[in-house]
Structure 1
């Protein structure tokens, strides 16, 4: 009888341990998915710098991917890089090691990826003179082209319109995906069906402050909008 009780006790402890580990992993995953980032670009000593600021303190590690597009006259160059952010508690400066060229404009595309490989942030920072509306039309096109949803299986991207509301410039685009869903869907079971998408980008003070797909997908924070 004692042996049986001991066995049952050990089994109960084992099950409890598994539940605690699963709960901890679930909480960590939930915490990770709730972190959002703001990104600021600066020039310091002729070097491009990114400042990433998390919305909350988190023990999770995140990786970052960035692409820099430089234009100077008829010259266009692109740089790419990556890094790791560990135990985020403060704003994290990242030196892109790109020399700031005189009379050049820069577009810096940033993706932040959590420990499970999910893209949790996508944004564009500009270092340039104030772009014209026509230039914003092209910048918005590149923003959609580099977005996780479009990169995964998007095609036939088209400009769909422009509207100014006070200080805000609203840009609209349309494209088609080969599968359902949003973001980077690698490793997921997907319905293979052509899906039409419409993107609305809001520009204010030379910054993309909002990018919404189909009225429900937050392209910057890579999540379904609540409500």
Structure 2
């Protein structure tokens, strides 16, 4: 228990220090929205050059639901092209400067709308290498830069942990909906079986009565 409290305190302190000292800014976004049936919707995100981009999406709700996904770079190239998937994780190590286009496709489904949850994590690496080269002759500055980079890495791990927690929460929601659907099916078929048994029993009684008429 004490170890867990110490780790939580250390993580909180490291996250706060990373926000103050970090020379590598990060962006973390989470969205949940409804993609209508037969539609295709796109989002745009501005990204700096040589940044690191992580993208994850999940179709929540009923099982066996999927969507198409395309990510287009500022130059017009297709970086990612998923065909009807329910869950995927993608990483770009070195991005181009400009607006990235992210499109979800549900045009193949004319009946079912899809509930989507997706996260976007962007970390910029600009300036780190240059600072380290300039501080190569200054031991103190090199150590400070190394300390900052370690804090940045820790901050990224904390952000990823938060994203994983959100995804686990999404999985719990999906499993709960599956349980509700299964409960309804079990109740329906139980009621149907009971009615069928009663009908068969009444039919058998009528047949027996017809075989032995009253004198």
Q: What TM-score results when the alignment is normalised by the length of structure 1? A: 0.29
Structure 1 or 2: larger helix share?
A: 2
Structure 1 or 2: larger strand share?
A: 1
